[in-house]
Structure 1
Amino acid sequence: MTTFLVDRGTAVLRVFLLTRAALLVLFCVFSVASVMAPLSAQAQQRFSTIEVIGNQRIEAATIRTYAGIERGESVSEGELNAAYQRILGSGLFETVDLTPQGSSLVITVREYPTINQISIEGNRRLKDENLLPIIQSQPRRVYSPTIAELDADSITAAYGQLGRYATTVDPRIIRRDDNRVDLIFEVSESRVIEIDRLSFVGNRAYSDRRLRRVLETKQAGLLRGLVKSDTFIADRIEFDKQVLRDFYLSRGYIDFETLSVNSELARGRDAFFVTFTVREGQPFEFGEITVTSDLEEVDPDEYFEAIRIRPGVTYSPTLVENTIARLERLALRNSLNFVRVEPRITRNDRELTLDVEFNLSRGPRIFVERIDIEGNSTTLDRVIRNQFRIVEGDPFNPREIRESASRIRALGFFKNSEVEAREGTSEDQVIVDVNVEEAPTGTLSFGASFSSDIGVAVAVGFSERNFLGRGQRLSFNVNTASDSAQANIGFVEPALLGRDLRFGLNLGYSTTDNENARYNTKTISFSPSLNFPVSENGRVTLRYGISSEELFGLDPAASSAILLAEAGTEVTSFVGYSYSYDTRRTGLNPNAGIIFQFGQNFAGLGGDAKYIQTTALLGAEADVLREEVTLRATLEGGALNMISGNSRITDRFFLSSRRMRGFDANGVGPRDLTATNQDALGGNFFAVARFEAEFPLGIPEEYGITGGVFFDVGSLWGLDNTAGTLGPVDDSANLRAVVGFSVFWDTVLGPLRFNFSNALKSETYDEERSFDLTVSTSF
């Protein structure tokens, strides 16, 4: 019984609770409905009129168009908000307000003011004329805060190009009447942010020191305030990545790539830390070199003989390009047009070699319709056309177009130059477009130099590399020292008759007033010349020269060997030639090269002097020990053979410190010891061998200081008349030898060289020098 009552009570309680909950839910539903009913009625409105207030320049119809609300149209709260955003987003209004007033919608706007004037304050490094063209805000236009901020960013970026990354620019406005404002950009210039550390990750073959020498970007050094290349410039990094890749490719590292460049700004925002992460790969060499062709008129053996690459040579894309050009030129000489040379490279990872097959095939028959040149306001068209080896109507060669573009850039006449080919009036015609931008080509320089030989010298020079837009070079130089003066006028036509034929003309004047000599000289010279190539690395110069050499101020106490020459003027007329061969830049080995020069002058074509003067120079240079050490060797000599009469002192050779270190100027060679000042007499013959090694000293390379050791051996000898004041002069070929240590300092003010030397072998009458300093600069 008790159990039944409990169960019944529990059931009644459950029914009560459920009934109560149901009533509560019904009450909430009716309450929400009673509240939402009037809100729903207010969410949708119809406006019979739309009124615009506050507009001065903008038409009311334009503002209604931005709002997008039509009269009598049912409008919700969301649509009113969207209309507000559209009007504000137009960028024409500073404030916008939409107010429903019964059946009317009132749109109240405040227009942005008009810019009265724009000024930039605080800018000293960049002038207004440099900054105003790069901003979008303009006077008499509507002021926009967004555009003003973008303009501030543009000015900041311009300072970033100068390495002043901490520069801040704040736009400010000053309100004027008639809803106008003055827009002011307040510039707070920062100091140049330099590259404090330039490092590499992943390089094993070459040290950081060697790679830093390759890049255009430099670490800040001792004279960091005067060096611009140690400033961090982001655009320069991309160029550095390319030159770094070219450096490795020319040394056989075909898999090289720059993985990343991390540029980190120091916490104090006063320095950058730049890190190049690279992957070198392995160096490859040329393997088997072959020539193939399906053309019946091509003899592969003939073309193979023209190839200079041999197995075992370090692979370089430049050598492949040069070989392609050489084979194509050979095909043209054989009257074969439209022949294309395709290098087919087979990789041998086991031997680390690349087999190259040069395949000669018939290319498409495409001709050059015309060459269009634009942008050359000063330079004549023919100067640019001379850089092309093809003319209108010739077969089109893409490689030749690329090489022509390189030659145009190498002229140095243009800031930018682009050479592109496009289809002509028919499928077998191509039009070559050349677009250039002129650059200044004139240079006015002032210079100073010092050496122990001549003391302090001052130089003033003017040169124009593109005289009258003809591609000609005109120069004028004046050099004065304590005991000498020189003036020279030079003119060069690099493409005489439109060919690689260089015509030169030189007019010179010089005087000497040596305190250590009992005579003075004055020389006036005139010499035209022609220079032309005879091989890929060889050139020949043909010249004529006439000079008037006056010997005056002879002291009666001077040596008899000088007095017998008699004072007066001697006219020398000569013809001559020179041959030069130089592989230091274009040879098979990028780390080694040789230079050979040989020349002769034949005097006697009129004039007073009759002789044959011969000079020769053979030099070699190589980078060793991972290109950390540079070795140089030079052998130089000369001979003066008189056809008639005796040589004058103005005709003979003298050894300066440039040719023989460790001695004073004119300190080596025959000397009259019985004369009052022991005159140096010069010699008819000289021979000198110079050996030098340059290496790092462990000093950070950004200071530009390296060391070197040298060894010089040579002699100056031979006189036609050995009669001295009291007896014969010794003119025998006595060897001299010198060893020394050098300190090189490459500064922005000019290269300095300090030589510390000791003569191992000399004559008692030689004048030795244990220390020598040279420095020269121009600005």
Structure 2
Amino acid sequence: MVRGKHTGTSCGGRKLGAHILYRNVSAAALAIALGFVLTPEVAVAQSYSFTNVQVEGNQRIQTSTIVAYTGIERGKSVSAGQLNDAYQRILDSGVFETVEIVPQGNTLVIKVTEFPTINKISFEGNRRIKDDAMLALIESAPRRVFNPTVAERDASNLAEAYGAQGRLASTVTPRIIRRSDNRVDLVFEISEGDTIEVERVSFVGNRVYSDRRLRRVLETKQAGLLRTFIRADTLIEDRLEFDKQVLRDFYLSRGYVDVRINSTNAEVTEERDAAFLVVDITEGQQFEFGEISVTSEMSEADADEFRKVLKVRPGVTYSPSVVENAIRRLETFAIRKGIDFLRVEPRISRNDRDLTLDVDFVLTRGPRVFVERIDIEGNTTTLDRVIRQQFRTVEGDPFNPREIRESAERIRALGFFETAEVDVREGGSAGEVVVDVDVEEKPTGSLSLGGAYSVNDGFGISLGLSENNFLGRGQRLSFNISTAQDKEEYTLGFTEPYLLGRDLRFDLDLGFSETDSSFALYDTKRAFFSPALTFQTSENSNLQVRYTWDEDEMISRGDDSSGFPLAGPLVRSEINQGAINASTIGFTYTVDSRLNGLDPNSGYLIQVGADYAGLGGDSEYLRSTAKFIAQRRVFNEEVTLRATIEAGAFSWQGDGFSRSIDRFVLSPSILRGFEPGGIGPRDQSPNGSGGNYNDFLGGNYYAAARFDAEFPLGLPEEIGLRGGLFYDVGNLWGLNNADTGAAGGNIVGRGGSYRHVVGFSLLWTTGFGPLRFNFSKALKKEDFDQEQSFDLTLQARF
């Protein structure tokens, strides 16, 4: 007789207890049992022969199915080993709690006890993960046969889901409740436990970069004051693996080609509520580019021509991204010259004596492979063409592996998909490949509700609705309402990133705004409509051309308590013009060195723009602006230095007079230390009550320069506070197109003078966004200027 069963009925920890039956008979124990049971038979005969098979105890499983599991044919001799195999096959079917095989003469009796069916599945103790999400993680299901092994595996999967949220102390225990008709209720009892927070992140082996600098690289953060809002301080294993990669990329991009991330060790406290993370690094030496050369192994590719395309120069810090950029430029140049299947192989020679790397870009001929087709799957909402637009390759083009990889990155960067996999397989014939794109879509709409505070506009709320993949066409549609103490704005925006299937972005913005500023003695209303086209002119520059129609109006606030007008005579004359509309065409040309990523520690931005109003409408003027920003990190990237220079010119060319809202008015974002409109020409006409007005009027020209230095304060990193020093200098002048006669010669500041401001900043990185507190003091100013010694803004990042 061969018998076996699964024992146990309830669970403790993650092990099923006494009410759940297990298969605990090992091969060795079974062999011993067979020895005792079958020894008398073996002494008489070495084999069995059955003319009849009888099955007992089965309710759902048919007898013929169980007999088929045995693999024993009637009338044929079977050995004891074959009987054991038959027993094992029945047990391995996973549907029986106990199995017993009893030879009775020429009859084989098989006694079974079936596993119960699952009546329902429930979860107890879960708050962080909802029942629906848990059901998606387990294999067990109602109306299926209960299997203890599967239940254990389900419990393990649920515990891993909690571990991914940093709750490593969580436990999941499966239990069953017996019901009638051989049914059970499966219950997963869950103890979620607390998240394990990273109390401290430290590094071993780093000599060039401080712990503070390296902590800014990692996704994992130290637990701080805002841990309720910032979940990055939770110990998650997958995040640690990601951190190792980004830390390695950080060093490689700075020339440390021998860097090794030896280990990331997390020590969990006995209470299992905190961890100390230690990262062991071997930095190695920093390398620079040495000799840069191009060698051609293709007769149609002139090495000298390709060498001129390169922007890599000797003496620059080595970075793999710079090499990748160079390869991309060379292959793109080859396509423009009509040279197909050209591949660029960088051959690097190491010079340890002077710590340089010579790079020889070898132009070789790749295999003659073409793209047969591009197959796209998984996109239920997004149109195929939205994904195909990310490919620079179409069916029939030469196959370029690098281009396919870059296309995959562009697809992921869309933000429309949870996952996006791009693979290549052999095509229908030799020399052809098929590109498979498999995506999993995710929600692309969002509703945002938030609050804001500005020293200039006061407290306000904002409501935004946006859809980044409108109707699956890859278009963006947004509607925003922003209300503040002194300003209300309503805008509707639409963006088509690939107009007419080309790399041409189309933007359309419509809006209406009202202001009731405490810095002006009049209110304003503005409605606008602005379509724009933007296209790349080079790898790091673009050009935007736009048209704008707007109508704006200055609205009087009436008189003061003494019956005198609040605004001076010049502003009143501008208010009397009523609503004025302008039809404007303009452009902005932008050069951004950060787009090519050649230097992670420095960069610059150049913007030049002009707008001409006069294509119909009531106004005719020319407005031009220019801005230059340069930034560099020094002292092992601990200190950031930034310089910003900008200027503008306004020329009124129409009939009548321009208004204050047409001319330039400087805000604290351009020149700190003063109120909006705090410097520049002002109307100081007598107000009739023994005093003078002091209305700001704006100016035709402005120039400003801002110099910033940002640095650590030595405080714990988790607080998120950094310090800054700044020096601003600026001027606003010119008023030759205003109705100055209305002021009776009481205009001051038309000639302008440069104001100088110094200050200190506190930069606070919070869960609500980066805040910047500016404390300033004007070193040089005019008596009529309006100072503002404190300013709180969202920190603008270059």
- Give me the TM-score of the superposition, normalised by structure 1: 0.89
| Residue deviations 1:682-701 (CA, integer Å, cap 9, x gap) | 11111111111111111222
Q: Secondary structure at the match of 1:327?
A: helix
* Aligned match of 2:377: 374
Task: Tell me how far 1:348 sits from its aligned partner.
Answer: 1.0
Distance 1:342 1:70 in 2: 65
* One of 445, 451, 456 as aligned partner of 1:448: 451
Greater CA drift, 73-82 or 154-163: 73-82
Partner of 1:396: 399
Q: 2:416 aligns with which of 410, 413, 418?
A: 413
For 1:148 and 1:517, the matched residues in 2 are separated by 71
Q: What does residue range 550-569 of structure 1 map to in structure 2 within 5 Å?
A: 550-553=553-556, 555=558, 556-565=565-574, 566-569=576-579
Name 1:497's counterpart in structure 2: 500
Q: Which of residues 625, 644, 651 in structure 2 aligns to 1:641? A: 651
Query: CA–CA distance in 2 between the matches of 1:55 and 1:291?
Result: 78
Task: Please give the secondary structure, in 1, of the residue aligned with 2:188.
Answer: strand
In structure 2, do the counterparts of structure 1 residues 95 and 741 end up closer, same or farther at CA, with 3 Å as the change threshold?
A: same
> What whole-Å deviation, never above 9, does each CA across 1:744-778 have from its counterpart, x for those lacking one?
1111122222111111111122221222223599x
AA aligned to 1:509 is F
Q: Distance in 2 between matches of 1:766 and 1:354?
A: 57
Partners of 2:44 and 2:723 in 1: how far apart?
A: 90
Is the alpha carbon distance of 1:541 and 1:90 closer, same or farther for their aligned partners in structure 2, counting shifts above 3 Å? closer
What displacement does 1:364 show?
A: 2.3
C-alpha displacement of 1:627: 0.8
Q: For the structure 1 residues 617 and 164, does the alpha-carbon distance in structure 2 shift closer, same or farther, using more than 3 Å as the test?
A: same
- Equivalent residue number for residue 749 of structure 2: 730
Percent of aligned pairs with the same amino acid: 58
Preserved CA contact (<8 Å) 1:45 1:74: no
- What residue is the counterpart of 1:766 in the other structure? 785
Deviation at 1:453, TM superposition (A): 0.7
Letter in 2 for 1:378: T
Whether 2:472 is the aligned partner of 1:434: answer: no
The alignment partner of 1:150 has SS state of helix
Moved more, 139-148 or 593-602: 139-148
Return the letter of the residue paired with 1:481.
A
Mean Cα deviation higher: 290-299 or 390-399: 290-299
Structure 1 residue 552, shift from structure 2 partner = 2.3
Partners of 1:44 and 1:76 within 8 A in 2 = no
Shift of 1:286: 0.7
Amino acid at match of 1:768: E
Inter-partner Cα distance in structure 2 for 1:699 and 1:241: 25
| Secondary structure class of the residue paired with 1:584 | helix
What's 2:681 paired with? Answer: 670
1:710 lines up with 2:716 in the alignment: no
Which of the numbers 257, 264, 276 marks the counterpart of 1:273? 276
Q: How far does residue 567 in structure 1 lie from its aligned partner after superposition?
A: 3.1
**Per-residue displacement from partner, 1:480-520 (whole Å, max 9, x unpaired)?**
11222111111121111222211111212112223443322
Relative distance call for 1:587 and 1:226 in structure 2 (3 A) is closer
Residue type of the partner of 1:632? R
1:386 aligns with 2:389: yes
Contact 1:201 / 1:275 at 8 angstroms: preserved in 2? yes
- 2: CA distance, partners of 1:549 / 1:203: 59
Question: C-alpha displacement at 1:626, in angstroms?
Answer: 0.7
What does residue range 235-634 of structure 1 map to in structure 2 within 5 Å?
235-553=238-556, 555=558, 556-565=565-574, 566-634=576-644
Task: Name the SS of the counterpart of 1:568 in structure 2.
Answer: coil
Contact 2:732 2:752 in 1 (8 A): yes
**Structure 1 letter corresponding to 2:254:** R
Worse-matched range after superposition: 474-483 or 625-634: 474-483
**Kindly tell me: are residues 311 and 55 of structure 1, through their superposed partners in 2, closer, same or farther at Cα, counting changes over 3 Å?**
same
Q: Which amino acid aligns with 2:670?
A: R
Partner of 2:768 in structure 1? 749
Which of the residues 696, 712, 718 maps onto 2:712?
Answer: 696
Which region of structure 1 is more displaced relative to structure 2, 521-530 or 595-604? 521-530
Deviation string, structure 1 residues 505-549 (Cα, Å, up to 9, x no partner):
121211222344332221111121111111221111111222112
Distance 1:755 1:85, change over 3 A: same
Counterpart of 2:200 (choices 181, 189, 197) is 197
Q: Is the 8 A contact 2:584 2:613 kept in 1?
A: yes
- Paired position in structure 1 for 2:161: 158
Change (3 A) 1:773 1:516: closer
Q: Distance in 2 between matches of 1:97 and 1:362?
A: 69
Cα distance, 1:57–1:609 mapped onto 2, change above 3 Å: closer
SS where residue 232 of structure 2 aligns? coil
Amino acid at match of 1:759: A
Select 2:695's aligned residue among 641, 654, 679.
679
The letter of the residue matching 1:274 is L
* Residues 515, 191 of structure 1: alpha-carbon distance in 2 compared, 3 angstrom cutoff: same
1:554 and 1:567 in contact (8 A); partners too: no
Answer whether contact 1:506 1:527 (CA < 8 A) is retained.
Answer: yes
Q: Give yes or no for contact 1:192–1:231 (8 Å, CA) kept in 2.
A: yes
In structure 2, distance between residues paired with 1:507 and 1:236:
42
Query: What is the one-letter code of the residue matched to 2:483?
Result: T
SS at match of 1:229: helix
* 1:375-396 CA-partner distances (Å, limit 9, x unpaired): 2221112211111112222211
CA shift in 2, pair 1:44/1:144, >3 Å: farther
Structure 2 unaligned spans of 5+: 1-37, 559-564
In structure 2, relative to structure 1, the CA distance for the partners of 1:171 and 1:494 (3 Å cut) is: same
CA distance in 1, matches of 2:500, 2:266: 52
Q: Deviations over 1:11-34 (max 9, x none)?
A: xxxxxxxxxxxxxxxxxxxxxxxx
Give, in whole Å, the separation in 2 of the partners of 1:472 and 1:208. Answer: 42
> Contact 2:763–2:795 (CA<8 Å) still a contact in 1?
no
1:83-122 counterparts in 2 under 5 A?
91-95=94-98, 109-122=112-125
Q: 1:486 to 1:677 in 2, by over 3 A?
A: farther
2:579 partner SS? strand
2:187 aligned residue: 184
State the distance in 2 between where 1:500 and 1:80 align: 72
Quick check: 1:559–1:725 contact (8 Å CA) kept in 2? no
- What letter matches 1:564 in structure 2? S
> For each residue in 1:643-664, what CA deviation from the matched residue of structure 2 results, as whole angstroms up to 9, or x when unmatched?
2443211101111111111122
3-state SS in 1 of match to 2:159 = helix
Matched residue SS, 1:564: helix
What's 2:216 paired with? 213
Give the letter aligned to residue 463 of structure 1.
S
User: 514-523 or 179-188: which moved more?
Assistant: 514-523
Could you list the per-position Cα deviations for residues 97-119 of structure 1 after superposition, in whole angstroms to 9, with x for gaps in the alignment?
Answer: 67789999876543332222211
Residues paired across the two proteins, number = 739
1:607 aligned partner, one-letter code = G
Structure 2 partner of 1:34:
none
Distance 1:711 1:57, change over 3 A: same
Question: Is residue 448–residue 776 contact of structure 1 (8 Å, CA) maintained in 2?
Answer: no
**Whole-angstrom distance in 1 between the partners of 2:670 and 2:526:** 22
| 1:53 Cα offset (Å) | 4.6
Q: Which has the larger radius of gyration?
A: 1
The farther-off stretch of 47-56 and 519-528 is 47-56
> 2:30 maps to what in 1?
none
Q: Give, in whole Å, the separation in 2 of the partners of 1:400 and 1:513.
A: 53
Question: Hey, what's the Cα distance between the residues in 1 that align with 2:383 and 2:105?
Answer: 77
Q: Is contact 1:632-1:693 (8 Å) kept? A: yes
